[in-house]
Amino acid sequence: MIAVVQRVKRAAVRVDGEVVGRTGPGVVVLLGVLAVDGESEARGLAERIASFRMFADADGRMNRAAAEVGAGVLVVSQFTLAADGRKGRRPSFDRAAPPAQAEPLYLLFAARLSELGLPVETGRFGASMEVELVGDGPVTFVLTS
C-alpha cells in the first residue's frame, strides 16, 4: 500500500457535487492499494498512520500522533499511486490491485483507523471525486506498507 498523508486544517471530498466525506483539523490519506497487498498491510499501515508523529507538541516539535490529538481522517482511494512511470510517457497501472481486491482493503484500512479511535470519513471507492483541502504546514508524507 502507498499512502500520501497530508496534515490539513480542513478537507472535503465530493462526488457529483455532493460532499460524501469531510474532516476538520486532521489528515487526508490518499490510499493506493497494490496487487501484492492483503489484510495485514491494510491494518499495519492504518496503525502506523494513527501513531505517526506529525502534529506539534507544546514546543512546536512534531511529537504528537493523530490518535493523541483526536485528529480527523479523510481517506480517499487513489489507484494512480500505484502507477509506474519509469518508461515512456504513459503510466503503467500493472502494480495496482483490481477493484475487487482493492475496495475491501481500502474499507478495512478505514475501519482499522476508526477502531483506533480516530474519526474517519471516506470518499467513494471507484468514483470520480473532487478533493478539496487546506493544508496545514504544509506537512506531507509518503508512507508504504
Tens of pLDDT, residue by residue over 33-77, are: 999 999 999 999 999 999 999 999 999 999 999 999 999 999 999
Would you say 112 and 46 are in contact if contact means Cβ atoms under 8 Å apart? yes
Dist. CA 97–CA 101, nearest whole Å: 6
3-state secondary structure of 113: helix
Q: Which residues are catalytic?
A: 78-80
pTM (two decimals): 0.96
CA atoms within 13 A on the CB side of 32: 19
Confidence band, pLDDT 50/70/90 cuts, at residue 23: very high
* Residue 46, pLDDT score: 98
